[in-house]
Structure 1
Amino acid sequence: MSNSNTAVLSIDVQQSFPARDYWREDDVPAFRERITTLIDGATKKGCPVVRILHEDGDGAFSRASGLVKPLDWMPPTHAVEFVKHVHNAFTDTGLDRWLRTRGIRKLIVAGIRTEQCCETTTRVASDLGYDVDFVGEAMLTFPMTDPRSGRQFSAAEIRERTELVLRDRFARIATVEEALG
């Protein structure tokens, strides 16, 4: 990782999620270990960490909820914080300008939810010309049920599908160690 042209995007690792009925603790310990290792490793290498938070008018994600702030265990280290109001971290946030004025061309994406804001940010970043490492092991998501078929997809299945559709088209699928390497 070249610290002069790489940034970590920590997406939506915020207190809004535990307030949602779909929140599950089962994968949180592994997620916590992986994302904190990524952030701590990037910080040691002089790579900026960009904190992204999601805010909208919906309950736990509204400003008034007081929950649009990092989970208590997240490392406090970050170079800048952006608040987004849509699924990707670029639309109307100033993120692209911030990255380009610093010569950052490579992004390491981690956070919550794998198939929503992390995937959408990855696709937009790729379309904007950034090289992206998608670090699925430093992401968290939750089981989902297809309303038509009734089939439940596990968090692992959702991550596998997301990595499949992004791999070598929008991003390099990387482990924490590969992204920091």
Structure 2
Amino acid sequence: MEITENITVENNAALIVIDVQKGFEDAFWGRRDNAEAEQNMAALIDRWQETGRPVVFVRHDSPRAGSPLALGTEGNDLKDFVEERRGRGTGPELFVTKTVNSVFYGEPDLDTWLKEAGIRQFVIVGIQTNMCNETTARMGGNLGYDVLFPLDAMHTFDLTGPFGWKQTAEELTRATAVSLHGGKFARVVTTEDVLKGASAQ
């Protein structure tokens, strides 16, 4: 993945870490893309915490019976590399739970928290690229935020849709990137872009 542009990361830009949960390791989801996603997520969390920028950790509490992400199951837990980083930063931290795709419909209210802190820019990482990540990016763009979307710090799974149509995880990732970037909802970038832009406060 080529570097796309020089990115300016604001001193108070938030990192939103979406649904990095153990349940996504379940065979239920099928084949995934981007084996480097977790390593890139970790690098971005570390950079945010080192520089005192705000981090939002998000957990999906699925209301669906039998879901690998159901509340009260081990799959609902955040993956170890994320859980062990919670509370380690010197900057503000928020923990949001949700039952739908967009983090903006979670509790506590993300939009209120961002606005009260004067935050106008945020970076999305996590799972899944074309589901909760994309939905949150679209809403963020509509609400007037500057959304950065490092495509290599997230992943998704192969999916079957209507009429028997099937798309690979890579095809879905590319479609999300084109829709978000081309539609001006977000700027699709790389982890390296963001790390360089967030090198100092």
Equivalent residues, number: 178
Q: Which residue of 1 aligns with 2:146?
A: 131
Q: Which runs of 5+ in 1 are unaligned?
A: none
1:49 paired residue number: 55
Residues 92 and 81 of structure 1, relative CA distance in 2, 3 Å threshold: closer
**Runs of 4+, deviation exceeding 6 Å:** none
Question: Corresponding residue for 1:8?
Answer: 15
Report the Cα offset of residue 25 of structure 1.
6.4
CA root-mean-square deviation: 1.8
- Whole-angstrom CA distance in 1 between matches of 2:118 and 2:62: 30
Deviation at 1:50, TM superposition (A): 0.4
1:87 pairs with 2:101: yes
> Quick one: which of 60, 68, 81 aligns to 1:73?
81
Letter in 1 for 2:20: V
Unaligned 5+ segments in structure 2 are 1-8, 88-92
Q: By how many angstroms is 1:157 displaced?
A: 1.1
d(CA) in 2 for partners of 1:175 and 1:44? 19
* 1:34 is the counterpart of 2:36: no
Aligned partners of 2:141, 2:173: CA distance in 1, in Å? 19
The residue identity in structure 2 corresponding to 1:125 is: G
Q: Secondary structure at the match of 1:90?
A: helix
Compare relative contact order (CA 8 Å, sep 6+) and give the higher one, 1 or 2: 2
% identity of equivalent residues: 34
